[in-house]
């Protein structure tokens, strides 16, 4: 097991430049029971913000590495990340 020795602030510093910083998190995280068209509209709005974000790459990598179960991270939905994790786990 590899132990991280870098300062913890460095792990999170990408967030300072995030396009979503200070925004209402409800754009990125679903309310209870959200489905269908409402979910797609909210995810599309979140992804539009992520497309213009200078740190969408680090954000998406963080979400995959830490196995974030909920929300849109780095432009990737919960479903897309679950699929990517399954592929990573097979390797």
Domain boundaries, the chain: 24-90
**HSE-CB of 25 using CA atoms within 13 angstroms:** 5
| Feature table: binding site | 20, 50, 53, 59
Question: From the annotation, which residues make up the binding site for [4Fe-4S] cluster?
Answer: 20, 50, 53, 59
Confidence of residue 86 (pLDDT cuts 50, 70, 90): confident
C-beta of residue 19 within 8 angstroms of C-beta of residue 52: yes
Q: pLDDT per residue over 54-77, tens digit each? A: 999 999 999 998 899 999 999 999
Listed range (9-13, 19-23, 46-50) with the worst mean pLDDT: 9-13
């Amino acid at each position: 097991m590899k132990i991280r020795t870098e300062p913890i602030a460095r792990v999170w510093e990408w967030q300072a430049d995030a396009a979503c910083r200070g925004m209402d998190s409800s754009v990125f995280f679903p309310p209870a029971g959200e489905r269908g068209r409402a979910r797609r509209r909210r995810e599309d709005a979140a992804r539009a913000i992520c497309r213009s974000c200078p740190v969408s790459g680090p954000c998406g990598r963080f979400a995959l590495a830490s196995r974030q179960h909920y929300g849109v991270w780095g432009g990737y939905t919960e479903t897309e990340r679950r699929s990517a994790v399954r592929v990573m786990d097979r390797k």
